Amino acid sequence: MDSSVFVLFGATGDLAHRKLFPALYNLHLEGKLPCGFAIVGLGRKPFSEEQFRGRVKEALARFSRRGADDSAAQAEFLRLVHYQILEADRAEDYKRLLDRVEGLERQAGIPGNRLFYLSVSPDWFASIARLLKESGLTGGPGWKRLAVEKPFGRDLASARELNRSLLEAFPAEDIRYVDHYLGKPMVQNLQAFISANPVLKAVLNNRYVANVQITASETLGVGERAGYYDRAGAVRDMFQNHMLQLLMMTAMHSDVYDKQRILESAIPIQAQDAANFVVRGQYGPGELEGRKVPGYLDEPGVAAGSRTDTFFAARLELDDPVWGGVPFFIRTGKRMSEKSTRIIVEFRDPLEKYSHGEPKRNYLAVRIQPEESVELQLNLTGADGGAAETRLRYSIPEGELPEAYERLLHDALSGDASFFAKWPEIEASWRWLAPILEAFEDDRVPLHVYAAGTDGPEAANRLLERYGFKWL
Ligand code: BG6
């Protein structure tokens, strides 16, 4: 891998602390960082380099999947970490940053390759990209890449505007739109899983599949993030990005580059019909893991009488020769009964009838988290001559697979763009959602309250029952 400098905006933030530094550390332990490498953390807080390294060390101890200790390897990693104060809109700070980065490059023999990673509010993206360019940080020899975290816009127009501003500073091929679900090993696995197994490829189509269900449920509530979440809701926070990426990864036929066509083939839902195809919900008070939890409206920072969705489900169909006619049911919600991300393909009714004991519909389940497994349900004939259900299942041992951000940071540094969202996908996702967001705004879709700790509103069950299905 090319030697490079990793410039991290938002280095004192939550994501950096919980995910990015632990991921970089694990890459270091596995010898997967470039041999010439430096990390420059940027933030507004006045930390000295030593203080900042102390914070990073704490983050490793708490959040690295390998834990952390006082090993030589850890000390070596911490020596790669630097800190600089930066106000995102202050041009002089970027001049100082340039000096700093050039100094580190000289010291470590790094030929000007730089990855700028924006783990800050998107409100800052445009000005950061502009000042990176104006200060000369994006010039000179070596590659320069920009990685941005979601949310990317809040509708089609704002996403386009944001993208235009990034493109003024970086060519399209050097921008990485991070969707951390694409870094999850079982999500990455979907591609090979389908294309390397002709036995699956042969049946994953509208001839054999009755419906596809994609679920990402969380037990967490909005936590401390109401300032952001109350303006986003589940539809923008999870559905526009992670859930639609899962849809594309499930439905693509050949390779990752086919993904965007999947989403472009999603049949539009008109605003006036939205209530028939989508369900929005908001959690009320309830009980989770034996303790009482407040409803969304009582969470700190949520606007009085907020109509923000914390649950969103949709029925989608693709206008596509392989999948046409197969309903895709997708749901995501906070404060649900369990943390689970999974994709379940339910096959059509069995052709054979048994004399007794109805055979079940076969299904294929890919569990993405917390358990990482694949499972296939089959029917056998039992001792009494009736249908007997059996399940073939393989679970990947816990801790064996890397964390999403390890793969993503490695790919961003090495230049592999396969598992990042692509701009046309982002555009297609906002385009498909536009009439639905409009219907939400005009209050044409009822907001169902569900008790925290349940599986979401009853209306989400009816969405499937209408077609003779149930959530699996
Ligand atoms: C983030 C959302 O993108 O994904 C959060 O902003 C959500 O609201 C999180 O909790 C879920 O990620 P994971 O990896 O825990 O499923």
| Distance from the alpha carbon of residue 230 to the mean position of ligand 1, in angstroms | 15
| Distance from the alpha carbon of residue 221 to the mean position of ligand 1, in angstroms | 11
Confidence of residue 255 (pLDDT cuts 50, 70, 90): low
Residue 245 has pLDDT above 70, yes or no: yes
Of ligand 1's atoms, which has the minimum distance to the CA of residue 242?
3
Helix (H) or strand (E) holding 24: helix 21-29
Ligand 1 mutation target, pool 218, 220, 369, 401, most atoms within 8 A of CB: 218
Query: Radius of gyration (Cα) for the chain, nearest Å?
Result: 24
Average pLDDT rounded to a whole number, residues 122-148? 97
323: tokens are 């999948």
Rounded CA separation 190/299 (Å): 37
Looking at 28, 242, 356, 410, which residue is catalytic? Answer: 242
222: tokens are 């909005």
Residue 280's Cβ-side half-sphere holds a number of Cα atoms within 13 Å equal to 22
Confidence of residue 257 (pLDDT cuts 50, 70, 90): low
CA-closest residue to ligand 1 atom 13: 181
**Model confidence pLDDT, tens digit, residues 274-319:** 999 999 999 999 999 999 999 999 999 999 999 999 999 999 999 9
**Looking at 228-372, which runs of residues are DSSP E strands?**
278-284, 286-288, 291-293, 311-316, 328-333, 340-347, 363-369
CA-closest residue to ligand 1 atom 15: 218
Could you tell me the CA-to-CA distances from 416 to 119, 174, 411 in Å, in that order? 20, 11, 5
Tell which residue, 457, 451, 455, 449, has the closest CA to residue 292: 451
CA-closest residue to ligand 1 atom 4: 238
Three-state SS sequence of 171-229: CHHHEEECCHHHHCHHHHHHHHHHHCCHHHHCCCCCCCEEEEEEEEECCCCCCCCHHHH
Residue 10 has pLDDT above 60, yes or no: yes
Q: Known catalytic residue: 180?
A: no
Ligand 1 mutation target, pool 180, 231, 341, 372, most atoms within 8 A of CB: 180
| Distance from the alpha carbon of residue 28 to the mean position of ligand 1, in angstroms | 25
Tell which residue, 87, 97, 74, has the closest CA to residue 7: 97
Rounded CA separation 119/125 (Å): 9
Residue 36's Cβ-side half-sphere holds a number of Cα atoms within 13 Å equal to 16
**Model confidence pLDDT, tens digit, residues 177-222:** 999 999 999 999 998 888 889 999 899 999 999 999 999 999 999 9
DSSP code string of 53-76: HHHHHHHHHHH-TT---S-HHHHH
Tell which residue, 409, 427, 403, has the closest CA to residue 117: 409
**Model confidence pLDDT, tens digit, residues 174-187:** 999 999 999 999 99
Contact (CB, 8 A) for 132 and 92: no
Residue 316's Cβ-side half-sphere holds a number of Cα atoms within 13 Å equal to 30
Contact (CB, 8 A) for 392 and 386: no
**Model confidence pLDDT, tens digit, residues 319-358:** 999 999 999 999 999 999 999 999 999 999 877 777 777 7
| Distance from the alpha carbon of residue 14 to the mean position of ligand 1, in angstroms | 12
| Distance from the alpha carbon of residue 130 to the mean position of ligand 1, in angstroms | 29
CA-closest residue to ligand 1 atom 9: 238
Of ligand 1's atoms, which has the minimum distance to the CA of residue 216?
16
For all residues of the chain together, what is the average pLDDT? 95
Confidence of residue 383 (pLDDT cuts 50, 70, 90): confident
Contacts of 164 by beta carbon, 8 Å cutoff, 6+ apart: none
Rounded CA separation 192/199 (Å): 13
Of ligand 1's atoms, which has the minimum distance to the CA of residue 225?
8
Rounded CA separation 177/117 (Å): 10
| Distance from the alpha carbon of residue 285 to the mean position of ligand 1, in angstroms | 21
Residue 157 has pLDDT above 60, yes or no: yes
Flag the least confident range among 2-6, 17-21, 33-37, 347-351: 347-351
Flag the least confident range among 13-27, 61-75, 306-320: 61-75
Coil vs helix vs strand at 434: helix
Residue 67 has pLDDT above 90, yes or no: no
Ligand 1 mutation target, pool 15, 241, 242, most atoms within 8 A of CB: 242
In the block, tokens 């399209």 appear at 172
CA-closest residue to ligand 1 atom 8: 237
| Distance from the alpha carbon of residue 238 to the mean position of ligand 1, in angstroms | 7
Confidence of residue 254 (pLDDT cuts 50, 70, 90): low
Ligand 1 neighbours by CB, cut-off 6 Å: 218, 220, 237-238, 341
Average pLDDT rounded to a whole number, residues 440-463? 97
Percent of the chain past pLDDT 90, that is, above it, reads 88
- The confidence score (pLDDT) of residue 161 equals 97
Q: Which amino acid is at 289?
A: E
pTM: 0.96
| Distance from the alpha carbon of residue 195 to the mean position of ligand 1, in angstroms | 28
CA-closest residue to ligand 1 atom 7: 238
Rounded CA separation 24/117 (Å): 13
Q: Which residue has the higher pLDDT, 354 or 112?
A: 112
165: tokens are 């501003």
Of ligand 1's atoms, which has the minimum distance to the CA of residue 229?
8
- The confidence score (pLDDT) of residue 285 equals 98
167: tokens are 């493109």
- The confidence score (pLDDT) of residue 195 equals 82
